[in-house]
């Protein structure tokens, strides 16, 4: 306990640092043009999630969170990029530019306002429950990443960035979750980790099919089924 007290400010600051960079990587997903860099940013974000999980696990002295961190690293840092590469193919990766509906500076501004909005949503929650330091960082930033990921999905026109947007949403939800619900049963965490894997598999395979069918993965251009 004594060592814990000394360590606590340092842990708090490290967690806050991880949170800040997490938020920046969420912005990066919106603002980066190249697909490969987007993927790397996503991997980096997952790494930050694992770091935060380790810090929180140490603080709560809970083995669950360490397992969550380990799962996150194995699935999101190693397996998912490999799966995506197999499923979507190197030509899709070598593309430099991602088409999007709204240009990047405007998207960045919208992402910033989304971050402010999520802080605004989270603050009554934090005051109502008398939240600790960790929730104060993780909940708003996780929510912001969730909403920014949702925005990314609507704006981007390519298959893989849309998938990365969804994965970023899940990252955000987990980032908030490890702080506000750290004692979720282990089976739920395990299942959630596999769920992420299955999501990537399914959507990756679907993207591969689309690519085979129409020789490109620009799903933003698929507009055959619209109401006239």
Partner 1 sequence: MTDKIIFNVIQVIVVMAFAPLIKGIGTRLKENVQSKRGPSIFQPYRDIWKLFHKEEIVSEHSSWIFRFTPYMVFVTPIFVALLIPVLTGYPLFFAFMGDMLGGGFILALGGFFATLAAVDTGNPYGPMGASRTRMVGFLAEPVFMIVFFTVSFIAGSTIPYIVQKHWVTPLANFFQPSHILMLLAFLMLILAETGRIPVDSPTGHFELAMIDESKGLEYSGTGAALMKWGGAMKFFVLCCIFLNVLVAPWGLAQEVQYWEVLLAVPLILIKIIIFVFVLVAIESSLAKLRLFRITEFLGAAFATSVAAMITDLFLM
Partner 2 sequence: MELIYILLISIFAAALSLLPMGRRFAPGVTILGSLAVFLLSLRVALATTTGGELTAVRDYLSCDSFSALILVLVAFVGLTAAIFSWGYIATTVEATDDRKIRRYYNRFNLFLLSMLAVPIFCQLALVWIAVELTTLLSVFLVSFESTPQALEAAWKYAVLTCMGASLALLGILILCWGLSLSSQAAFTWEGLISAAPQMPPALLYTAFFFILIGFGTKAGLVPMHTWLPDAHSQAPSPICAILSGIETTAVLYCIMRLLPMFQGSAASYARMWFVIFGLISAGVAAFLLIQAKDYKRLFAFSTVEHMGIILVAAGLGGYAAHFGAMLQIVSHAVTKSFCFFAAGATLMATGTRNIGAIRGLIRISPLAGIFLMVGGLGIAGAPPFAVFLSEFSILKAGIMNGQYLVIGLLALFIVVAFFGIMHHINRMVFGSPDILLIDEQTEQTLFGRSIIPGRNILPVTCIIALIVTIIPVILFGIYLPEQLYQLIHHAASSLGSK
Site residues (CB under 8 A) for partner 2?
121, 124-125, 128-129, 142-143, 146, 149-150, 153, 159, 162-163, 166, 169-170, 172-173, 176-177, 180-181, 183-185, 187-188, 191-192, 195, 198-199, 202-203, 205-207, 209-210, 213-214, 219, 222, 224-225, 227-228
Instruction: Give whichever of 5 and 86 is closer to partner 2, judged by the CB atom.
Output: 86
CB of 155 to partner 1, least distance (A): 14
End-to-end CA gap in the chain: 66
Which of partner 1, partner 2, none interacts with 79 (beta carbon under 5 to 8 A by kind)?
Answer: none
Instruction: Give whichever of 3 and 212 is closer to partner 2, judged by the CB atom.
Output: 212
CB of 13 to partner 1, least distance (A): 4
Which of partner 1, partner 2, none interacts with 13 (beta carbon under 5 to 8 A by kind)?
Answer: partner 1
Instruction: State the number of CA atoms in the 13 A half-sphere of 72 facing the CB.
Output: 28
DSSP codes of every residue in 57-92: HHHHT-HHHHHHHHHHIIIIIIIHHHHHHHHH-HHH
Instruction: Give whichever of 31 and 89 is closer to partner 1, judged by the CB atom.
Output: 31
Instruction: Give whichever of 80 and 144 is closer to partner 1, judged by the CB atom.
Output: 144
CB of 58 to partner 2, least distance (A): 19
CB of 198 to partner 2, least distance (A): 5
Eight-class DSSP state of 130: T
190 Cα distance to chain centroid:
17
Instruction: Give whichever of 55 and 169 is closer to partner 2, judged by the CB atom.
Output: 169
CB of 105 to partner 1, least distance (A): 4
Could you tell me the CA-to-CA distances from 206 to 91, 115, 152, 155, 159 in Å, in that order? 16, 31, 19, 20, 9
Give the residue from 165, 145, 51, 150 showing the smallest Cα distance to 98: 165
| 215 phi-psi bin (left φ>0, alpha ψ -120 to 50, beta other) | left
């Amino acid at each position: 306990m004594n060592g814990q007290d000394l360590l606590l400010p340092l842990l708090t600051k490290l967690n806050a640092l991880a949170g800040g960079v997490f938020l920046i990587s969420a912005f990066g997903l919106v603002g980066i043009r190249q697909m490969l860099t987007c993927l790397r940013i996503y991997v980096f974000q997952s790494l930050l999630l694992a770091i935060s999980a380790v810090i929180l696990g140490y603080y709560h002295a809970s083995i669950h969170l360490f397992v969550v961190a380990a799962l996150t690293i194995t699935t999101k840092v190693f397996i998912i990029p490999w799966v995506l590469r197999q499923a979507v193919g190197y030509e899709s990766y070598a593309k430099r530019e991602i088409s999007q509906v709204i240009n990047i500076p405007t998207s960045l501004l919208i992402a910033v306002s989304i971050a402010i909005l999520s802080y605004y949503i989270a603050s009554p929650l934090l005051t109502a429950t008398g939240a600790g330091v960790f929730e104060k960082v993780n909940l708003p930033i996780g929510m912001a990443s969730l909403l920014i990921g949702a925005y990314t999905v609507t704006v981007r026109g390519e298959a893989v960035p849309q998938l990365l947007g969804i994965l970023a949403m899940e990252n955000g939800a987990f980032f908030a979750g490890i702080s506000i619900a750290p004692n979720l049963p282990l089976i739920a965490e395990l299942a959630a980790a596999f769920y992420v894997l299955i999501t990537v598999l399914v959507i990756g395979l679907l993207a591969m099919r689309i690519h085979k069918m129409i020789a490109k993965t620009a799903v933003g251009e698929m507009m055959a089924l619209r109401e006239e």
